[in-house]
Chains A and B, each alone.
Chain A
Amino acid sequence: MKIIDRLCLWLGYASAVAIIILMLVVVADVCGRYFFNNPITGASELASFLMIVVVFPALAWTALEGKHIKVDLLVSRFSPRAQAILDSITLLVALGIYIVITWQSVLESMSVDTATGMLRLQHAPFYWIMTVSLAIFCLSILVLVIRNITRVVKR
């Protein structure tokens, strides 16, 4: 579990770095175009692909920190034990859909062989970044389920 925590944290840091790079790429493109009439070739392609690195690696970390948004209308009125049980169930259901999504991404990543128009950036490595990140995201949900179940058993 500790290792997964660590892993998710480092992936989150990777996303954080990607945000900075994304910012610099777009700013350089705007400056180049406006001041020097010389935009960076394929900056928008690069920025779009950087988004994959910005978003997916950070999903697991955000999950472990309990930041993903839910609506708390009813459940917080239940006993802590009932809450833990219910959360485990909804997390397992969520895990189900994300496993299907991950599985489909694996298939897609293996078959994709296209590249972008301007920079000839290969799609495949970015598909794999997404897929591996999604797999770790599933793992992080599993960790959350286990934590909830331990909470139930302890009492």
Chain B
Amino acid sequence: MSPETIGVIGLLILIILLVLRMWIGAAMALVGFLGYAYILGIKPAFAVISQIPFTTVSWYPMTTVPLYIFMGCVLFQSQIGKDLYDTAYAWVGQLRGGLASATVIACALFASITGISAPALVTMGKVALPAMRKYNYDDHLALGSIACAGTLAFLIPPSMSLIIYGILTETSIARLYMAGFLPGILMAGLFMVTIMIITAIRPTAGPAGPKTTFRQKAVSLKGVWPTLLLFLVVLGGIYLGVFTPTEGGAVGAFGSVVITAAMKRLNFRKLVDSVIEATQTTALVFLLIIGAYILMKFLAVSKLTILMGTTVAALPVHPMVIFAGIVVLYIILGMFLDIISAVILTIPVVYPLVLAMGWDPIWFGVIITILIEIGLVTPPVGMDAFVLAGAIDIPIAKIFRSIVPFLIAAIFCIILITIFPQIALFLPSTMG
């Protein structure tokens, strides 16, 4: 059998193991090890698995992963997300659909200091949903805005998925961060336009909230300063080159602890809870990463991914047709996987194709992040939809129905970024 055939068989076995509910990390490690052993012999395969766990985990850029996770956990425990909602509410709550728009704004602000979506989803589910229900908002509008805006965490830097993508493809994380920024704002804007359109058609879906005075608005701004400060320190420091994106995780985590402790929002108990949550999340992410690196070794020697890349790139169709195929593939994957697993699982296979097609790796990192975000809130098992459903005890089917208009906005956003790649690439191009 040719190595390429073995590569195909390996991937098929991997899919079967995943469907049988094996741990993703274990399945990747197993298939990677066996495939490598089959092609090059058992001795080199032993050499691979004796090296990869240690060298991968102790690779300096990896140190950023637990620290960004920890930062997200601390900010969740400190309830800063609630402040953000209160501020956004004071500013736009009095507009038609304003409470839903406030959710989007609060999520976008929260996303600028967290790299994972769960903190925003759980916080907004507990804060924004009761507020919207109080003002008789249509439940679908309320749930859709929370579920979809929560995923902004992955697009607006810092972003866990962009970090992992950057690490796996050895693309500059600082550039990826800057690339995610404008598309994130665009997406948030499109979500708000969606809310305006819905409430223009059906004003009862999102009645205006109570009027606030200018004084109240001004006073409410004090809820934003911790977020703004953290954002400026972390992203500013990275942009100006004071520290690397790798170090940004540590600075951000430390800053979150200091700021929230100074605000008396973080006591020892909450700190312990955040570290424990961060420890377990880190462990599960690295079980995946170790598996992916073993799998990548196998795919490299099978030459399958290179063959696929060159074959697909040589197909006599317009590159956009291939791009559309990838879009569909990722949306489907996002329906079954969480975003980090989806990136880790597919990059070994898809990235060689991206290079063969001559697409900009930074642009592509932004695109797949949006694509998987879409999958995260779609049936049958969109992970974020489940997180939200679990947090507020609402049937999952209701959330799935609620997101449709927002998905249209997200797809429109992808189309815009495809036609105008500058939306993603302008900010990175201004970096030194």
Inter-chain CA distance A75–B282, complex, in Å, is 26
Question: Is the Cβ of A55 less than 8 Å from the Cβ of B50?
Answer: no
Inter-chain CA distance A49–B60, complex, in Å, is 9
* Given known contacts A30-B250, A55-B57, A134-B53, A70 and B24 CB-to-CB distance under 8 angstroms: yes
Name the distance in Å between B93's Cβ and chain A's nearest Cβ: 37
Question: Is the Cβ of A30 less than 8 Å from the Cβ of B24?
Answer: no
Inter-chain CA distance A59–B29, complex, in Å, is 15
Name the distance in Å between A115's Cβ and chain B's nearest Cβ: 13
Report B-chain residues with C-beta under 8 Å of the C-beta of A75: 19-21
Interface SS, B side: helix
Q: Is the CB of B286 closer than 8 A to any CB of chain A?
A: yes
Q: Is the CB of A113 closer than 8 A to any CB of chain B?
A: no
Inter-chain CA distance A67–B70, complex, in Å, is 17
Question: Is the Cβ of B288 less than 8 Å from the Cβ of A26?
Answer: no
Inter-chain CA distance A70–B287, complex, in Å, is 11
Report B-chain residues with C-beta under 8 Å of the C-beta of A127: 54
* Given known contacts A23-B67, A47-B63, A72-B21, A62 and B53 CB-to-CB distance under 8 angstroms: no
Question: Is the Cβ of A15 less than 8 Å from the Cβ of B20?
Answer: no
Name the distance in Å between B100's Cβ and chain A's nearest Cβ: 31
Size category of the A interface is 35 or more
Name the distance in Å between B158's Cβ and chain A's nearest Cβ: 15
B33 to chain A: closest residue by CB: A97
Inter-chain CA distance A153–B380, complex, in Å, is 32
**Which positions 381-426 of chain B face chain A at CB distance < 8 Å?**
381
| Interchain Cβ contacts within 8 Å, total number | 186
Q: Is the CB of A16 closer than 8 A to any CB of chain B?
A: yes
Question: Is the Cβ of A73 less than 8 Å from the Cβ of B282?
Answer: no
Report B-chain residues with C-beta under 8 Å of the C-beta of A69: 23-25, 284, 287-288, 337-338, 341
Q: Is the CB of A22 closer than 8 A to any CB of chain B?
A: yes
**Which positions 85-141 of chain A face chain B at CB distance < 8 Å?**
86-87, 89-90, 93-94, 96-98, 100-101, 104-105, 107-108, 126-127, 130, 134
Size of interface on B: residues with Cβ below 8 Å to A? 56
Query: A-facing mask of B236-262, CB < 8 A → 1, else 0?
Result: 000000110001011101100000000
Q: Is the CB of B2 closer than 8 A to any CB of chain A?
A: no
Query: A-facing mask of B42-63, CB < 8 A → 1, else 0?
Result: 0000100111011001111011
Name the distance in Å between B229's Cβ and chain A's nearest Cβ: 16
Q: Is the CB of B331 closer than 8 A to any CB of chain A?
A: no
Name the distance in Å between A18's Cβ and chain B's nearest Cβ: 9
Inter-chain CA distance A87–B67, complex, in Å, is 32
Question: Is the Cβ of A130 less than 8 Å from the Cβ of B53?
Answer: yes
* Given known contacts A19-B66, A23-B70, A68-B287, A93 and B59 CB-to-CB distance under 8 angstroms: no
Stretch of B166-174, B182-190, B271-279, B365-373 lying at the A interface: B271-279
Question: Is the Cβ of A90 less than 8 Å from the Cβ of B20?
Answer: yes
Q: Is the CB of A150 closer than 8 A to any CB of chain B?
A: no
Q: Is the CB of B30 closer than 8 A to any CB of chain A?
A: yes
Question: Is the Cβ of B279 less than 8 Å from the Cβ of A71?
Answer: no
Inter-chain CA distance A55–B276, complex, in Å, is 12
Question: Is the Cβ of A12 less than 8 Å from the Cβ of B22?
Answer: no
Question: Is the Cβ of A73 less than 8 Å from the Cβ of B381?
Answer: yes
Report B-chain residues with C-beta under 8 Å of the C-beta of A58: 279-280, 282-283
**Which positions 13-39 of chain B face chain A at CB distance < 8 Å?**
17-27, 29-30, 33
Inter-chain CA distance A89–B20, complex, in Å, is 10
Report B-chain residues with C-beta under 8 Å of the C-beta of A52: 54, 57-58
Report A-chain residues with C-beta under 8 Å of the C-beta of B364: none
* Given known contacts A70-B23, A96-B30, A24 and B254 CB-to-CB distance under 8 angstroms: yes
A17 to chain B: closest residue by CB: B275
Name the distance in Å between B251's Cβ and chain A's nearest Cβ: 6
Inter-chain CA distance A75–B18, complex, in Å, is 10
Question: Is the Cβ of A105 less than 8 Å from the Cβ of B336?
Answer: no
Binding site for A on B (CB under 8 A): 17-27, 29-30, 33, 46, 49-51, 53-54, 57-60, 62-63, 66-67, 70, 242-243, 247, 249-251, 253-254, 272, 275-276, 278-284, 286-288, 336-338, 341, 380-381
Name 11 interchain pairs, CB-CB below 8 A, sorted by A. A23-B253, A26-B67, A26-B250, A52-B58, A62-B284, A62-B287, A67-B280, A75-B20, A90-B21, A90-B22, A104-B46
